[in-house]
Amino acid sequence: MAPLTMTSPSTRPIELSIVLPMYNEVDNVVPLLEEIEGALGETTFEVIAVDDGSRDGTRELLKKLVKDKAYLRVVLFRRNSGQSAAFDAGFRSAVGRVVVTMDADRQNDPKDVPRLVAKLDEGFDLVTGWRKDRKDGMFLRKVPSKIANAFIRWVTGTKIHDLGCSLKVYKREITDEIRLYGEMHRFLVPLAEHQGASVTEIAVNHRARTAGVSKYGLSRTVKVLLDLLTVWFFRRYQTKPIYVFGGAGFAMIATSMLLSAFVLYQKVFEEVWVHRNPLFSIAAFAGLLGVQSLGMGLLAEIIVRTYFEAQGRSPYPIAERLGFPARASVAPRSAPPTGEASVDGMER
């Protein structure tokens, strides 16, 4: 990737697409945009402000600013849909070769963006910020964040320290491949690594909030745990769900068989009748649960194959294809063949 250059926006394609999810940040919008302008100078960039159903005048302010600022693009949600939805809408709208995400509360410093982009140019696909000196409350923000980061690293195997930092830069092909649902923005790094992206982190400046109020609290802990379960499943079993469901099914069936054998032993040698033995009910329940798990695994396998084949997607990521003959386009199966297609080029 070529280094950023300071030229007139009218003479170059857009270099950076900065995605800013916003929810009730009316006091931060103008100062943040001014900071971005100052940090990037004449670098060609666009700012994609995604208003997530604000009720404090943020969306009305964005409607005014978009008329005066040529780099500003605005996406307005009809209702509050969450930060993951805002990130995803920004990713789908970005046209820059590099995509930048950051919070709109001004705790992320726009001056760090050029440093992250320079690190990206060293050959990485994603560079994330590391808030080593975080300016937040100790017990409500820092301690829960450290515990959550350690737990996520243990489950997903990622080496990144600060998974909750929104300040990240990506090659756009990475954000084009990622789809965010629910509140999966917290797991952007593991999701990118699942796509085969090379990821690193650098320390960034983190500032105390000067306007507005935080939208986060301890109530999100349960959501993080549930999302982490989803990420764990997709990273390990997205293309082989029969392994997890089938494994559980066989374990239940084996448990059922062992308990049934023990119940039979008690009946024959100890005269413990079945209707007085709760182990028999447990054995029957375990057997039924095992058969259901096997069935769910088979259905999941069918769904996975349908998903990949119907969309023409591959279950494995390919970085490049070199030296192959260029393939002729294939006509739809419903259309009759129109003749031989010539192949006269090579893929690069």
pLDDT of residue 213: 67
pLDDT of amino acid 331 = 46
Backbone angles phi, psi at 135, to 5 degrees: -95, 65
Mean pLDDT, 10 residues at a time, the chain of 348 residues: 45 89 93 94 91 92 93 93 92 95 93 95 95 74 79 89 92 91 85 91 89 62 78 82 91 95 90 85 94 92 84 68 62 45 43
C-alpha 108/C-alpha 207 separation (Å) is 7
Greatest Cα pair distance, the chain, in angstroms, is 92
Helix then strand then coil, % of the chain, to nearest 5: 50, 10, 40
pLDDT number for residue 340: 43
Residue 225's pLDDT is 77
Copy the structure tokens of residue 81.
């849909």
pLDDT of residue 307: 78
DSSP alpha helices (H): ranges in 9-100? 29-40, 58-68, 83-93
9-236 has CATH 3.90.550.10 classification: yes
DSSP string for 121-163: TTT-SEEEEE-TT--S-IIIIIHHHHHHHHHHHHHH----S-T
pTM of the model: 0.72
d(CA 83, CA 61): 20
pLDDT at 63: 94
The rounded distance, in Å, linking the Cα atoms of 136 and 206 is: 9
